[in-house]
């Protein structure tokens, strides 16, 4: 297998001059296309988040990997993880990864966003660690699904007793109950919480429980612990040896008008239980992998860092604001300070230097300026990660107004030797970042 390694937002600096024709053809198959074109046809390609209800700019509608016309350079956007086809695999770390092998920043944001205990996690840089990403997602998917209630569906049951309340099974009656012993064989159709979906979830729970980090994942919150216990109590027919049968029963995606959150959970469970297929694919030209939207992850992470002074308005996609009176046009700011004076926007791109070309440079500011107008704010902030420890906040004064726009960096140390060192560095960095944000509020 040919392995290629690059980073997010690499600005087309990744060269392919010595790449084989076969690898170029494979890369062409996954580049220069919108992700939804590949996700819809390739069940072993997992993109997160994968719904427009979860993110501002749907990652599935973007071309996040592109090849230049002469196929000599590959360009990436706000995406991390890995993607492959046939024997060609492209690994995309965060641009803050140490030696492109120890992607502490991606792991750190995932652990924070999905509320996994940082200090109980033993970071691994081996090839299997990419599948830890799937495990991070499980508690969130499980808890979201169970907010709709335990999944139930009709199941057929066979009985053989004197309390007949269904359809008599003549064949079984003749075979089992003659001569007459006071029992009658009959069948019923009843709602049950023990079904192919909950059995799939149970198999996933038991699989995770045997993972080195399983206890940490399944105990990351009281809600997760309670939901794991609920699934275990409901699935009284669970047998470890029936995994293959359960996977066959779940070969079709669940489509239910009410339990719609169980569909992504079903998909994730299958991916966890069949992770080797995600890793290597199964069919010719089948695309496989796991990709994360770095912009979404950065926004969710900052929402946790700034929770004491800012409201994050896009949690679960529930909060949006009307732009015009009487018009169904809405805006969704990333954050508004709790005193409603500051509008802040998360940017997972390099803002210093801002060198995307004049048109895109200007567009980067437009959204925040629109939010400032809508919420009658004189102060906006763009919040972004930076490798430069000495980088200072930059204040822009909007011409012919009293309004200001601050660009505030968060330093990310990309030279830590261990994951624990990185955690300690980020803890200090976050405090400095919060102080810098608060300082701009009063200056």
**pLDDT value for 52:** 36
pLDDT tens digits along 205-262: 999 999 887 888 898 889 999 999 999 999 998 999 999 999 999 998 888 888 989 9
Beta bridge partners of 192: 153
pLDDT tens digits along 20-45: 888 888 888 888 888 777 777 777 78
CA distance 156 to 160: 14
pLDDT tens digits along 94-147: 999 877 678 899 989 998 988 887 776 666 555 556 677 788 889 989 999 999
CA distance 298 to 106: 9
Lowest mean pLDDT among 157-161, 298-302, 345-349, 402-406: 157-161
Sign of the Cα torsion 77, 356, 306, 386 reads positive
**pLDDT value for 22:** 85
DSSP for 92-156? EE-TT-BTTTB-HHHHHHHHHHTT--GGG-----SGGGGGHHHHHHHHHHHHHHHTT----EEEE
250 within 8 A of 242, measured Cβ to Cβ: no
pTM passes above 0.75: yes
DSSP single-letter state for residue 42:
-
**SS3 assignment, position 194:** coil
pLDDT tens digits along 292-329: 889 999 999 999 999 999 988 765 455 678 788 887 77
Residue 14 clears pLDDT 80, i.e. is over it: no
The CB density around residue 151, as the number of other CB atoms within 10 Å, is 24
């Amino acid at each position: 297998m040919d392995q290629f390694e690059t980073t997010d937002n690499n600005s087309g600096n990744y060269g392919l001059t010595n790449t084989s024709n076969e690898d170029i053809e494979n890369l062409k198959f996954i580049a220069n296309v919108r992700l939804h074109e590949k996700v819809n046809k390739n069940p072993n390609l997992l993109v997160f988040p994968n719904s427009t209800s979860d993110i501002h700019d749907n990652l599935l509608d973007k071309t996040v990997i592109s090849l230049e016309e002469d196929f000599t350079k590959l360009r990436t956007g706000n995406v991390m993880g890995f993607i492959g086809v046939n024997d060609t695999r492209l690994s995309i770390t965060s641009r803050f990864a140490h030696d492109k092998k120890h992607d502490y920043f991606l792991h750190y944001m995932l652990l924070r966003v999905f509320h996994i205990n940082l200090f109980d996690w033993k970071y691994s840089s081996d090839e299997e660690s990419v599948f830890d990403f799937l495990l991070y997602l499980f508690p969130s998917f499980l808890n979201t699904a169970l907010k709709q209630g335990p999944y139930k569906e009709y199941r057929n049951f066979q009985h053989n007793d004197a309390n007949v309340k269904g359809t008599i099974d003549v064949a079984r009656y003749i075979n089992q109950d003659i001569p007459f012993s006071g029992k009658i064989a009959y069948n019923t159709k009843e709602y049950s919480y023990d079904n192919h979906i909950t059995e799939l979830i149970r198999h996933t729970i038991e699989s995770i429980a045997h993972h080195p980090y399983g206890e940490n994942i399944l105990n990351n919150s009281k809600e997760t612990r309670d939901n794991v216990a609920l699934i275990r109590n409901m699935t009284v027919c669970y047998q470890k040896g029936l995994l293959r049968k359960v996977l066959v029963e779940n070969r079709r995606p669940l489509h239910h008008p009410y339990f719609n959150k169980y569909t992504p959970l079903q998909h994730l469970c299958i991916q966890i239980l069949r992770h080797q297929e995600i890793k290597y694919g199964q069919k010719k030209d089948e695309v496989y992998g796991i990709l994360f939207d770095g912009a979404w992850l950065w926004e969710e992470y900052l929402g946790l860092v700034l929770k004491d002074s800012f409201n994050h308005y896009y949690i679960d996609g529930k909060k949006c604001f009307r732009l015009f009176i009487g018009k169904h046009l809405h805006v969704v700011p990333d954050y508004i300070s709790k005193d409603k004076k500051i509008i802040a926007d998360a940017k997972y791109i390099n803002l210093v230097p801002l060198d995307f070309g004049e048109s895109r440079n200007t567009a980067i500011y437009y959204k925040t300026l629109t939010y400032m107008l809508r919420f009658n704010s004189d102060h906006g902030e763009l919040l972004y990660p930076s490798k430069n420890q000495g980088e200072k906040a930059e204040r822009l004064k909007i011409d012919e107004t009293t309004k200001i726009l601050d660009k505030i960096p968060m330093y990310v140390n990309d030279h830590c030797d261990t994951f624990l060192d990185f955690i300690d560095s980020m803890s200090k960095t976050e405090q400095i970042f919060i102080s810098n944000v608060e300082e701009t509020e009063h200056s």
